[in-house]
Amino acid sequence: MPFWLFLVFFKFAGALHYTLLSPFGESLLPLWIVGLLIGGESLIQATLDLPAGWLLDRLGYRRMLMASTIAFIATSACFVFGLTLGTYILTIFFSIFGWLFFVPGMNAYLLSHANENESARFFSIKDVSNAVGVVCASMALPFVLLFSPQAAGAVLIALQAAALVFLIMSPKDKAVPPHHERTVAQRRHLKRHSLRALWRTMKKLNPAGGMLALLTLAAAMFYAMIWFIVPLVIAAQQENAGMLSFGLAVFDFSIVVLGYLLGTWATKKNRRTFVFFGLLLFSICGMALGFNFGLLFIIFGFLTTTGDEMANIALWSWLHHLDHDHDQDGAISAVITFADDIGYALGPVLAGILYTAVGPGLAISLGALPIFILWILYYILVHKHFPFEDILDLAPARLIKWRHKS
């Protein structure tokens, strides 16, 4: 329970900070430069993801999650000194280290604690906890936009301090022993850890690992555009702020409502079917989002994240089944996080350009197009119609049953 509460408070503060970056930045810089700065944050973070995975496996998951939380407190403290170009750039800089260990550390921590028989439900609870935090951030956004930057910074610091307290109360790492207690083989593994070895590990996890990385990339780019564009619309249309903030919250509200149920279904259903229909629902509803910012936005937003969660749970379940040794959970999580960071680097840049070029609605619809392309690619791969199937280690005709997700 303390770890679930840590996730709630960390995501509450982290999502709120990320959402404030575009409207705060718009008051200081042209929108396309704001997109470059926010995207550049994720790009720099992407270059550090693999070293971060190595550090997680070497120093421990919970310890590095504490480092991320402390870094985010420093990130939030920048706003306490007022909103200037200097503090804005500093808050983006510190947030690199605030997010760096969070996602791979969280996934690796849970991979090391997951039980074979209940891992899908276990990881769906993680998604629900994250989603609760994001929903809280979305609903709080219209009110925080009325605060001064100093007051907003104080709120963020309080939330992250609560997250740190719950993390300290969480169970210690289970799979990573202290450095001096490790065997000679474990030390040699850490010393000789290389990109080539990691690549061989990821190949063993194909096709689940490859599809999960591609889905993470496309989804991150799409959500980055959503969280860049919708706060700008909220700031410009305060009369519709309540409806739009709920529309922003509904992406994670669907996980709160359905996350545990989908995790349970993932233990009983064919994962191939889950991924197929999840990607289809995700792509179609995502493209339909841009046509309406009223009630239909809320409905399609709910269905969009439902499709994403279906595919995501099934792919993580498959990955966990293929990962027998669990000796590189941090590094594997870092690879997936690398794809996530690349998506969050591209999304704000594209959103900043498309927002002024074609408007918010069409920009969102175009952001969902790569997910539809991924659905087509998945269909080709699973049904063995792709000409380079021997190279890509394609899926078998029928996928093995199992459970899990991150």
Q: Convert the pLDDT of each residue in 331-361 to its tens digit.
A: 666 677 778 878 888 888 898 888 888 888 8
CA angle 369, 372, 374 (to 5 degrees): 110
Q: How far is CA 28 from the centre of its chain?
A: 27
Is the N-terminal amide bond of 207 cis, ω within 30° of 0?
yes
Nearest to 130 by CA among 253, 247, 231, 18: 253
How confident is the prediction for the chain on average, in pLDDT?
Answer: 76
Q: Convert the pLDDT of each residue in 118-167 to its tens digit.
A: 666 666 777 778 888 888 888 888 888 888 889 999 999 999 999 999 99
Residue 131 CA to residue 366 CA, distance in Å, equals 24
Residue 199 CA to residue 231 CA, distance in Å, equals 38
Amino acid 190 reads: L
Q: Convert the pLDDT of each residue in 179-211 to its tens digit.
A: 444 444 334 433 444 445 555 555 555 566 677
